[in-house]
Chains A and B, each alone.
Chain A
């Protein structure tokens, strides 16, 4: 658990953070979202003491971070940054081994762990371990960055705009892969981004910051449904209902029987498709019911346009 207690931070005359109170729960991916200059990166860097608060306290598992030596603290917290920051003079496997080496693990244990995490991010050691960073694509380098952060299996992961330098297509893929990894590992992740779509896709919760102030902190669905003030709605965009739809799988709204009188489009959609895709299908085909199928191509239910529209209108009541 990470707790910020009345945290402020000033650089000279500029106030980067003003009185932040925020608690991040274990095993959740919390997004720090906001425009540039909102203080989100500053907030992240307070956790591993790359910055110190001007006033207030930062606690990890109830313990003030100032109780630890900075280096010791940082070795227990994974860290991934935008420009990856791989060490250009070390091979991929040496980069990944960085923190275990700093922690003094023995050789065999390090080697085993390096192979494990490289497999986890889909870059097998046999193929990639011996390469140098300049021999990797942007997406590969960032995967190595994630592997390096996970190498010592830290409970907390700090990620500062980790995917924003990857091209859009690669970014979507790496986000998906990271979600898979996070579902398995259940780390406590603090993830900084200015990209609303990324925040909505990845975040269990979103803390929205503006001008060094915490504007709203809620589960992602709640934030999308009920913005606390105009800025939140503006920042999330007019299409935030669509964004809400994008977080829900079609199967959640499926009925078990075909409708009487509805017209199917004659195709079946995958049940794990998100509701935004289904809506797009309805708009395209002009129909108002669609069959859903599982991975074995068996029909598992039907999704009605009216159910989707009801959900979009009053999400909370339906759930």
Chain B
């Protein structure tokens, strides 16, 4: 990770493989899932993951910031308890529970993924913000930062590595969970996997699994790169 030249390798490797397999379906040595091209499946999957992650990151960050402000500290114990209880639900259970509540389709899957994705972002945001040293916080206040300036210029930059790690976990897990979303009719890379399971077609199954795996690895490598460049330094 230290030498800039090689840090790109994982991202280039996984991303390149994913791109190639999607752009040139002829490379696959077996018959593919017929109802959608790999590109379409990947696009559906990305929309599902992307939209739910945007919400998850926004809500997780926002809640994490809120319960670490002086006016929100009262909610911190409750929020932490809810978050750790929430984390014990398997993602599949969350997805399946959406069906009686919201029915089948893209919407419920999207809601479930967003809900489940909040937890790692929230947890890491809270730990990171609480981890900023009291002396640093005291100095910022005493020198005349407004609360919002303390947050933006001091607390968030110092919390960046840990928050990024939370977003990384959230999104990588989300890619996998979204594949299960096909079970409730959300489409995406889970569709060939499910179809492969039902029809005992290992080709379909492998197609979905390989693409989803590569997508997760690509995302993970991308975050690795973000985290590797200047962990806690920033310009004022």
Contacts and interface: CB of A to CB of B under 8 A. Distances in A.
Interface of A: 48, 50, 71-75, 79, 81-90, 94, 97-99, 101-102, 132, 148, 158
B140 to A, nearest CB: 7
B29 interface: no
A40 to B, nearest CB: 16
B199 interface: no
A242 B66 CA distance: 56
Interface string B168-189: 0000000000000000000000
Contact of B136 (A48, A87, A132): A87
B145 A50 contact: no
Contact of A88 (B144, B158, B235): B158
A87 B233 CA distance: 10
B144 A71 contact: yes
Given A48-B142, A50-B142, A74-B141, A83 B135 contact: yes
- Does more than half of chain B's interface fall in helix, strand or loop, or is it mixed? helix
B164 to A, nearest CB: 14
B154 interface: yes
B82 interface: no
- The size bracket of the interface on B is 20 to 34
Given A81-B139, A102-B143, 4 more contacts: A50-B138, A75-B144, A79-B139, A97-B236
Contacts of B234: 89-90
Contacts of B232: 88-89
B136 A50 contact: no
A87 B154 contact: yes
Given A97-B236, A101-B236, A71 B139 contact: no
Contacts of A71: 144-146
B81 interface: no
| Residue of A72, A81, A84 with highest tally of chain B CB at under 10 A | A81
A98 B138 contact: no
12 contacts: A71-B145, A72-B144, A73-B144, A85-B135, A85-B138, A87-B139, A88-B158, A88-B232, A90-B234, A90-B236, A99-B144, A148-B143
Nearest to B233: A89
Contacts of A101: 236
Contacts of A79: 139, 142-143
A45 to B, nearest CB: 8
B157 interface: yes
Contacts of A87: 136, 139-140, 154, 236
Interface string B182-198: 00000000000000000
A292 B135 CA distance: 46
Contacts of A90: 233-234, 236
Given A89-B158, A89-B234, A81 B142 contact: yes
Contacts of B138: 50, 81, 85
B3 interface: no
B133 interface: yes
Contacts of B158: 88-89
B202 interface: no
A3 B154 CA distance: 33
| Residue of A72, A74, A89, A102 with highest tally of chain B CB at under 10 A | A89
Given A72-B144, A74-B142, A79-B142, A85 B133 contact: yes
| Residue of A73, A75, A85, A99 with highest tally of chain B CB at under 10 A | A85
